Amino acid sequence: DGGITQSPKYLFRKEGQNVTLSCEQNLNHDAMYWYRQDPGQGLRLIYYSQIVNDFQKGDIAEGYSVSREKKESFPLTVTSAQKNPTAFYLCASSLEGPDTGELFFGEGSRLTVL
Amino acid sequence: KNEVEQSPQNLTAQEGEFITINCSYSVGISALHWLQQHPGGGIVSLFMLSSGKKKHGRLIATINIQEKHSSLHITASHPRDSAVYICAAVLSGNTPLVFGKGTRLSVIA
């Protein structure tokens, strides 16, 4: 079955450590997105990529980095520069842009900084 | 001010009730998505609309582009419909989505 796989589901990090969240899709989608969700707030865009080897910053990119070396993979690194990284992170994909059809989401990764 | 507003924020209904969740936006859009987020956090896409109405099972979504408003209706609600429902607008062209804050629905048996 086609879909998006995020890992890990839960992650604990000490302050000052970088962590990388994995996002893999086998839907042959060009566009992939990373969102952050905090309690009581809507999803906020961190980074998005519409094609391999290209990505753009979203609204809250500071303290995060991404790569898109392969079509199916879009990992997110939460760096030590991110001031408040404890949050729920969601990866999503669409065939092309967000108005071209259905969005597919991973199950999310919950990051807690100790 | 968020460009996409949802109402109500929270909704409690008895099983079998007809439910309406509203989404309004302040700018022109090319499409709007309705999403369902389960208690575990996973999100499922329900509809993408650019005009008119779509129906899938007990779910109906409508959009009025001129009035900048969309609604999600659930007929014969059931406890398994309990979730957070989120609308997300594509403002224009290929720009990323703008999300509403979601409506938390609880359906009581």
Q: Which of B43, B50, B85, B103 is the best residue to mutate to test the A interface, defined by the most A CB atoms within 10 Å of its own CB?
A: B43
pLDDT in tens, A42-62: 899 999 999 999 999 999 999
Nearest Cβ partner for B41 among A92, A96, A107: A107
The reported pLDDT for the residue numbered B22 is 98
Q: Cα separation of A41 and A44, whole Å?
A: 8
Residues ≥6 apart with Cβ < 8 Å to A33: A45, A47, A48, A49, A58, A91, A92, A93, A94, B96
A63-71: average pLDDT: 97
| Residue B76: CB atoms within 10 Å | 12
Look at the alpha carbons of A72, A77, A83, A86 in this order and tell me if their dihedral is positive or negative.
positive
Residue B33 is which amino acid? H
Q: Read off φ and ψ for residue B81, nearest 5 degrees.
A: -80, -10
Per-10-residue mean pLDDT of chain B, 109 residues long, equals 88 98 90 92 92 96 93 97 95 78 96
- What percentage of residues in chain A have a pLDDT greater than 90? 75
Strand partners, B84: B37, B104
The reported pLDDT for the residue numbered B94 is 61
| Residue A16: CB atoms within 10 Å | 8
Place A108 in a pLDDT band, splitting at 50, 70 and 90.
very high
Q: What is the mean pLDDT of chain A?
A: 92
A43-72 residues touching B, CB cutoff 8 A:
43-45, 48, 50, 58
Strand partners, B11: B105
CB atoms A97 and B90 under 8 Å: yes
